[in-house]
Structure 1
Amino acid sequence: MENKKLPENLSGVHIHFVGIKGTGMAALVEIFYHNGSIITGSDVSEKFYTDEILSQLKIIPTVFSEDNITKDIQYVVYSSAYKIDKNPELIKAVELKIPCLLYSEALGQYSNLAYSCGVCGVHGKTSTTGLAGTILSELDLPSQVLAGSVINSFGGKCTYTSKNFAESASKKNSYFVAETCEYQRHFMSFCPQKIILTSVESDHQDYYPHYEDIRDAFVDYICKLPKNGDLIYCIDDKGCVDTVNELKKHRDDINLIPYGFTAFGDYRISELKLENEKQSFNISCLGNAELSVPGKHEVLDSVAAVALI
């Protein structure tokens, strides 16, 4: 197999996506498209909501066939729903010695090219990622954001790319915020400089039969932070607090930044009330804030996004 490492400059690089209609895959297509990559892809014939997203990029998926794999393809990215020794396109790609990367591997390699921030947690990671992107869209910073679902403020897409992203001299000068998934430890491929941890509890019991298993996966992920890296965590969540306490047994060089109603420091939330169909609250470091979406959990997610940016 050839070198699987993605180049820093993705402009003009031909990447073929196997399972291109998946939510995460289509989102990664958008990210690579805005880096100037040449994108092709395949999937089943059934229509999905991602067909509309792909059509806006002038990408028309083909049905799976080994004929779709040609020598001009430089990389293949594939969904974990397909096996490299079963799918006809992946079999052909291996025969042609085209580098094949799982979605999580491709996302992880891309994250290593920028100043990347991972958003994780059993609940709340999608809305937190979306809120972080909404804040970034108001700032003059070269940035991209990838969420695990459609975000209204992203124009009904799963990603956001700033208007000045292409002008950045190097991806190391740009920000990349991504929702990172704990299932099967997929987030271990990601290369974070900062992490938001929204919640930890027992989940995905087919892979994590005990609570300690999933907690320890989050600990391992957080340990990927560099020295003096930031962990922004919800102090109101019992599982987050437990995870941080376990983390302290392994690392003492990570900056711990709590947020929540019981937090100390800059990101303490207080004075929450509902006024004129908006949630009004106070953030210690900023003062009064308002949120148009309902739910106490959305207040927590918004403050996590503020702490990240």
Structure 2
Amino acid sequence: MQEQHTLQQLGNVHLLGIGGVGVSAVARLMVARGLNVSGTDAKDLPVLHDLREAGARINVGYAAGNLGDADTVVISSIIKAGNPEYDEAVARGLRILHRSQGLAAVMEGHRVITVAGTHGKTTTTSLIASMLRAAGASPTFAIGANIAALGTNAEFGEGRIFVAEADESDASFLNYSPDVAVVTNIEADHLDHYGSVEAVHRAFYDFASLLPEDGLLICCADDPGSLALATRMRKERPALRVQTYGFAPDADRRLVDPHPRGQRFACTLEWGSGQNIDLELALPGNHNLLNAAAAFCVGLDAGLDPEAVTAGLGSFTGAARRFDFRGEAGGVRVFDDYAHHPTEVLAALRAARAVAGTGAVHVLFQPHLFSRTKELYKEFAASLSLADSAYVLEIYPARESPIPGVTSELVTGELATAGGLVSMGQAAAVVAGVAASGDVIMTIGAGDVTEQGSAILAALEERLGH
């Protein structure tokens, strides 16, 4: 864990990459807490207008002079030496903090709830924030995506509760001091940072170890990694409160009888000795019921009435790019999802199956990162094979350079369903060409595959529209 900083210590704060979703959340909250905030981004993004309106001094285009009279500089993981403002901050000996350290300072004086996991953390954090807001708790929150249902990615509330998505990708989640920690799952990912699966599990153990003696650890009983963490913490820290949730028979908060209910998804939640409650969501899929069960645990711990908790969860309409409905044409519904790990892809396609009913499911998938594809291509193929057809785009490189021999053909070579490799220019016509009325099409991946939704709808309208 890094050194903790108080708000008073920060002085004037300048944020690099202030238009990014994570850094902009920190900026919003720092402004709300009365700090003098400035920042720079390479592009003039819409969020910069919002930050200017809130009172931040914003620059577009990096230059050493933009730092002004900054005492502290906050950066994301992508800001490196060679950035003129970063280099100037180093030369002047300014305090340089990762965005997670800046966010940790903003948490000062709050009861902190952090949500971590290989997948599901954005939706779970959003569900918790939405539920607390609907119940009148007025939480402060910071989420790693812009949430349409909440109207923002960060908001400073009047209550004592602070809810934050905790990013494990670079181990920066170890910079927080949580009172409540949710762990949705623990799987192999971000091995470019960790180097081994064992190191991933060790990081989550270190994360759970940040909890105080009277803290609460909430773990998914259906996930082997999360359950193992709960078991270990119960053994090593018997005074720590540990709760599990899931479909597993021995989960403390148990989900039973999941089923579609009209356009919604429902189950029974057995939450105490002989106590149960109906849980109904606007989000499809068992994975979202699990996310909601984690949020339910948080709500009960906050002292909220169970009925108010489930009502708040039921009113949440979803996070951006999480089973996001893009439209319908020719009787075919098109959805988009950010899933970029095999388990996430499988969960998204299972939800698509539930929504499609007797219709077929077709997927356009874009692998994200060469390193992840190299490690998990067989698992990606197995998950994609749940669809009736799976078409795969070339790898979205993001921050990485190509790895020799690692292409999307590793995935398509293992597919056990119809489909194959497709170019970005051909994708919309190809996927629309195999769909029929009643089917569901999903675009899946963390890259620019999300932009294919409108093209697919146009192709469907041309082929099947009336």
Report the TM-score when normalising by structure 2: 0.58
From 288, 291, 296, the counterpart of 2:281: 291
**Whole-angstrom CA distance in 1 between matches of 2:53 and 2:219:** 36
- RCO higher in 1 or 2 (8 Å CA, sep ≥ 6)? 1
- Correspondence for 2:74 among 74, 77, 81: 77
Q: 1:145, CA displacement in angstroms? A: 0.9
Q: Relative to 1, partners in 2 of residues 1:144 and 1:303: Cα closer, same or farther, differing over 3 Å? A: same
Measured against aligned partners, the alpha-carbon deviations of 1:184-240 in whole angstroms (never above 9, x if no partner) come to: 211110110010000111001112232211011100110110013111111011221
Shift of 1:37: 2.4
Distance in 2 of aligned mates of 1:247 and 1:213: 17
The aligned residue for residue 64 of structure 2 is 66
What CA deviation, in whole Å up to 9, does each residue of 1:9-43 have, x standing for no partner? 98xx5321111111100111112122222321112
Structure 1 alignment gaps of length 5 or more: 169-173
In structure 1, what is the Cα distance between the partners aligned to 2:190 and 2:30? Answer: 29
Contact 1:133 1:160 (8 Å CA) reproduced: no
| Counterpart for residue 171 of structure 1 | none
The yes-or-no answer on 1:197 pairing with 2:187 is no
Greater shift, 204-213 or 184-193, is seen at: 204-213
Moved more, 205-214 or 258-267: 258-267
Against the structure 1 CA distance between its residues 248 and 4, is the aligned structure 2 distance closer, same or farther, given a 3 Å change threshold? closer
Normalised to the residue count of structure 1, the TM-score between the two structures is: 0.86
Read off the aligned partner of 2:74 and give its amino acid letter. Answer: V
Residue 136 of structure 2 corresponds to residue 143 of structure 1: no
In the TM superposition, what whole-angstrom CA distance separates every residue of 1:235-273 from its partner, at most 9, and x where no partner exists?
011221122334456433321101111154652111222
Alpha-carbon contact 1:265-1:284 (below 8 Å) kept: no
Deviations 1:116-139 (A, max 9, x none): 111000010000000001111113
1:101 counterpart (92, 97, 100): 97
Asked whether the equivalents of residues 6 and 108 of structure 2 are also in contact (C-alpha less than 8 Å), the reply is no
Larger Rg: 2
2: CA distance, partners of 1:36 / 1:303 = 35
Q: Aligned pair count?
A: 292
Counterpart of 2:298 in structure 1 is 308
Query: Aligned pair in 2 of structure 1 residues 48, 102: CA closer, same or farther (>3 Å)?
Result: same
User: Does 1:5 find its partner at 2:2?
Assistant: no
Matched with 1:32 is: 30
Paired residues of 1:107 and 1:189 also in contact (CA < 8 A)? no
Aligned-pair identity in percent equals 27
Letter in 1 for 2:288: E
Structure 1 CA distance for aligned equivalents of residues 67 and 52 of structure 2: 21
Once the two structures are superposed, residues 89-126 of structure 1 have per-residue CA deviations (whole angstroms, 9 ceiling, x without a partner) of 23333444432211122122333432111100001000
Q: Which secondary structure state, in structure 1, belongs to the residue aligned with residue 131 of structure 2?
A: helix
Q: What is the CA–CA distance in structure 1 between the aligned matches of 2:255 and 2:292, rounded to whole Å?
A: 11
Q: Does structure 1 residue 220 correspond to structure 2 residue 215? A: no
Q: For residues 34 and 77 of structure 1, what CA distance do their matches in structure 2 show?
A: 16
**Structure 1 residues 294, 52: CA separation in 2 closer, same or farther (over 3 Å shift)?**
farther
Q: Distance in 1 between matches of 2:9 and 2:90?
A: 24
- Partner deviation per Cα, 1:140-187 (whole Å, 9 max, x = no partner): 3242111111112111x212333xx2xx6xxxxx11110001122111
Does the residue aligned with 2:118 lie in a helix, a strand or coil?
Answer: coil
Name the CA distance, whole Å, in 2 between partners of 1:94 and 1:207. 24
Q: Specify the code of the residue in structure 2 equivalent to 1:208.
A: Y
Return the structure number with greater helix share: 2
Match of 1:134 in 2: 130
Give the 3-state SS of the residue equivalent to 2:113 in structure 1.
strand
Tell me the SS of whatever aligns to 2:192.
Answer: coil
